[in-house]
Structure 1
Amino acid sequence: MPDAAEASVETRASWTIAFATTTMLALAAGAPLTVVIGLVPIAEDLGTGRSLPSLATSLAYLGTGVGGVMCGLLASRFGQRAVAMLGGFAILAGLTLASLGEAWSLLVGIGLGVGLFGNGALFAPMVAYASLWFDRRRGTALALVSSGQYIAGFVWPFVFERAIAWVGWQWTMLGYGIFASAVVVTLGALVIRPAPVPVGGYGGVRASAGRRVLGMRPNVALAVIASASFLCCIPMAMPAAHLVAFCGDLGIAASRGAAMLSVLLLCAFLARQFWGWLSDRIGGLWTVMFGSLAQVVGMLGFLATQDEAGLFFVSAAYGLGFGGIIPAYVLAVRGLFPALEAAWRVPVLLFVSLSGMAAGAWLAGFIYDRVGFYAAAWWVGIAVNLVQLVIIAELLRRQHREGRSA
């Protein structure tokens, strides 16, 4: 929160930026969903197991993370507008290449085009950029902006499932690439402009760049927080990346599986707004703790039921639980480190988080290909989540001790 004597950077323009950013991220996040929804027909057409399209999804996550760090630095040099427009053009190029129908083109198009230069130029840099427009309701704004992937998950699965059934996955990729690129590039050119930089508080310009964070050197503290985000993102990615295929194994139609994914991500979007409101009041780390506990309960739900009605309920509950975790990590980092370091610390955090998503999406497919069912993957995800909870508990202990000594 800014000091009362200082003017807030928040204006109506801040919310214009937030809504434009959310729209751009919703379109960018739709690109890798073409692989998630088309996982089974892609695997059949290419003559591979599910691990290949799962690997493409993982490369999209990994590329988004690596590209976020790289494009965050580019944004500092050339401006966020140019980088955002680059992301829009890259999504078109990546989906066009992936639609060629070859294994290599799928991996390169989704990994490099959609991931590294597409979402990489949009997700982490745009989240860091939008956070600079807020100082009073930063948690709420981050919850909205980072909900783009959940809006995508609610809107696009049904559209992609119908489109794939009608024209096939290749034409679906190409058509979506043209549409998403046109909107992202237009918004980037018309809306994005240089951001104000908060001055006061731990997350402002005057925050001491060399001070210890939670009793640790700053880079060590970031590494610990990022490691926790990696661990919690492994189980987070498993149901989202494999829900449609999981339903198919249970004899549930792909259209119903796509509907479940939409319900899961719609509930995550709605819950994220609540978690954002809550994080402005209790802080980022406590929000991570509560959200991670809810995620464990949701994973147990996927083990407890296999009928269609039960899976709809579990998908909704799972989305309500984990929806606020990632923006809470970003809020924690923005509050603990100076604003001028946001351009690289936030992308590094999100790179590690997305690496966890990549590992989770691939690991679930790998385990399925080895044992033939998803329950084993869900149990692995729960075990990893419990390790992450231990790390967050220690960070909260340090935060409490630091607060008492302040």
Structure 2
Amino acid sequence: MPAAHADPSLIDSPQALRRLLVTLGLVVLGNGSMYVLPVVLPAVQAEFGVGRAGASLPYTLMMVCLGLGGLLTGKLADRHGLAPVLWLGALAVLGGFVGAGLSGGILAFGLAHAAMGLLGSAATFAPLLADTALWWNRRRGIAVAVCASGNYVAGAIWPPIVQQGIDTLGWRPTYIALGAVCGAGMFALSWLMRQRPPALPASAATAAGTPPVRTRPFDLAPNQAMALLCLAGVACCVAMAMPQVHIVAYCTDLGFGAAQGARMLSLMLACGIVSRLVFGLICDRIGGIRTLLLGSALQGVALLLFLPFDGLVPLYVISALFGLFQGGIVPTYAIIVREHFPLQEAGLRVGAVIMATLVGMALGGWLSGWIFDLTGSYRVAFVNGIGWNLLNLFIAGWLYLRVRGGGSGREALASTP
């Protein structure tokens, strides 16, 4: 039998804060694989005797499965609670790292990462975003931002540790050790997540300061509203992927070298942590849809700045700005789902929109490279990213106008005495 729902009085409580810290640890442990794989790629490529495209295949498989896994694990969490999903995720992380470490070829290596993305990393992202949103009202935005920032924290912690392991032990023992540490850590922390989130009736939610959720979010049929949010997620992340995926190659083409590009990427991700926390605070004040509109507009400004400036110092500045502007966008979708859709559907719907953002990242990374191959320049690729960002801005603006006109959600409540 799944655990009973927590008492509504625990929302915004010290217990919610302790749960948030546990959640942050789970995200750091479960999301390391997407940042570890680029570090080990040269060694894997050399050992298996494949080209760069073949060595990159495991990353593609993992990201696609991560998106699909968000739907699966979100639905399982809605039905059975979070703890069983995390137990399954811990086994997947352990088995994935160990299986990859013992693999005899690039296909087996890739399938191990696919399984890790589908059930391991997926269990520690979308379901945890959805769960966090249900434990907080007054500080929901910053709480979800802290949860989401664990993804970037993993990117800061694991690569240097793994590189040290590769240099001293080799990539295979390092992978096996990483699986043991992350799998055991996730399993231990998951026991602290057995309590299901509070389930508030509509009247209690309104009394607690949470806007009542309408049966027609944005005055649209629920699936129509979700389709628009997913399209917005694809669009913003196609635009986001251009600098994130190609900044190193762009710097190499400009003659600055790959090392400078790697530093720019690191700066971008570090600023992304700050962005997620700041946008979380902003979201608490103005609501999810307004925050998405703000983030989309600022991301578009940063993309525009890449067009006239290509010097080393300006690129560092623009990379930092891009990180500050875009890092808080993706967690905002979880807030929008929490504010406008029924609580019992949170896991599945957050999983769907997070899957859309991952599809956008995968599409944007490939599309930018394809445009570069056609034109021999990244300039048109930046213009393509700006176009997709305008689509996101249009959708966010249209949904905001519907909220403002229809009087639903946090924005409408803020205007009432």
Query: What stretches of structure 1 move > 6 A for 4+ residues in a row?
Result: 202-206
Query: Quick one: structure 1 residues 376 and 166, their matched pair in 2 at CA, closer, same or farther if it must change by over 3 Å?
Result: farther
2:78–2:348 CA contact under 8 A, matched in 1: no
Q: What is the CA deviation profile of residues 301-340 of structure 1, one whole-angstrom value per residue up to 9, with x for unaligned ones? A: 4445555544332222111000111121111111011212
User: Which residue number in structure 2 is paired with residue 291 of structure 1?
Assistant: 295
Q: What CA deviation, in whole Å up to 9, does each residue of 1:171-215 have, x standing for no partner?
A: 544443332222222111245432222334479999566x22212
CA contact (8 A) 2:90 2:183 kept: yes
Q: Secondary structure at the match of 1:196?
A: coil
Assess, with a 3 A threshold, how the Cα gap between structure 1 residues 112 and 249 changes in structure 2: closer, same or farther.
farther
Q: 2:319 aligns with which of 315, 318, 321?
A: 315
Residues 93 and 120, structure 2, Cα contact 8 Å, conserved in 1: yes
Aligned residues, how many?
Answer: 399
Tell me, what secondary structure is at the counterpart of 1:132? helix
- Given that residues 132 and 196 in structure 1 are in contact (C-alpha distance below 8 angstroms), is that contact kept between their aligned partners in structure 2? yes
Question: Take 2:352 and 2:72, find their aligned partners in 1: how far apart are those partners?
Answer: 9
Could you say which residue in structure 1 is the equivalent of 2:106? 103
CA contact (8 A) 2:271 2:324 kept: yes
CA displacement, residues 322-375 of structure 1 (integer Å, 9 cap, x when unaligned): 011112111111101121221222112212222222222333444456666544
Aligned counterpart, 1:19: 21
Within 5 Å, give how 1:219-368 maps onto structure 2.
219-249=223-253, 256-306=260-310, 308-367=312-371
Comparing 314-323 and 364-373, the one that deviates more: 364-373
Q: State how far apart, in whole Å, the 2-side matches of 1:97 and 1:307 are.
A: 44
Counterpart-to-counterpart distance in 1, 2:252 and 2:336: 39
Query: Percent of pairs identical after alignment?
Result: 35
Give the direction of change, closer, same or farther, for the CA distance of 1:30–1:309 in structure 2 (3 Å limit).
farther
Residue type matched to 2:121 in 1?
N
1:134 maps onto 2:136 in alignment: yes
Alignment equivalent of 1:177, drawn from 171, 176, 179? 179
Mean Cα displacement is larger for which, 89-98 or 11-20?
89-98
Structure 1 match to 2:146: 144
Q: Secondary structure at the match of 1:193?
A: coil
Distance 1:360 1:83, change over 3 A: same
How many angstroms apart in 2 are the aligned matches of 1:316 and 1:342? 33
Q: What per-residue deviation string (whole Å, max 9, x for no partner) do you get for residues 97-139 of structure 1?
A: 33436331233122222x1011122211111112221122111
Mapped contact 2:137–2:210 kept (Cα < 8 A): no
Deviation at 1:395? 1.1
The normalised TM-score by structure 2 is 0.84
Query: Please, which of 102, 118, 122 is the counterpart of residue 124 of structure 2?
Result: 122
Q: Distance in 1 between matches of 2:55 and 2:371?
A: 14
Matched residue SS, 1:147: helix
Residue 394 and residue 21 in structure 1: after superposition, are their counterparts in 2 closer, same or farther (change >3 A)?
A: same
Instruction: Check if 1:33 corresponds to 2:12.
Output: no
Amino acid at match of 2:357: S
In 2: Cα distance, 1:364 partner to 1:166 partner: 36
- TM-superposed CA distance for 1:58, in Å, is 3.3
Amino acid at match of 1:282: I
Counterpart residue number, 1:67: 69
Cα distance in 2 between the residues matched to 1:242 and 1:179: 31
Q: How does 1:150-229 map to 2 (within 5 A)?
A: 150-164=152-166, 169-199=171-201, 200-201=204-205, 207=212, 211-229=215-233
Residue segments in structure 2 that go unaligned for 5+ positions in a row: 1-7
Q: Give the Cα–Cα distance (whole angstroms) in 1 for the partners of residues 310 and 157 of structure 2.
A: 25
Q: Normalization by structure 1: what TM-score?
A: 0.86
| Further displaced range: 84-93 or 265-274 | 84-93
Unpaired runs of 5+ in structure 1? 1-5
User: Which deviates further from its counterpart, 72-81 or 169-178?
Assistant: 169-178
Q: Larger deviation: 37-46 or 215-224?
A: 37-46
2: CA distance between counterparts of 1:207 and 1:345?
A: 17
TM-align CA RMSD: 3.1
SS in 2 for 1:150: helix
Amino acid of the residue matched to residue 274 of structure 1?
V
- The 1:112/1:363 distance shift into structure 2, 3 A limit, reads farther
Partner of 2:59: 57
| Farther off after superposition, 378-387 or 253-262 | 253-262
Query: Aligned equivalents of 2:371 and 2:127: distance in 1?
Result: 33
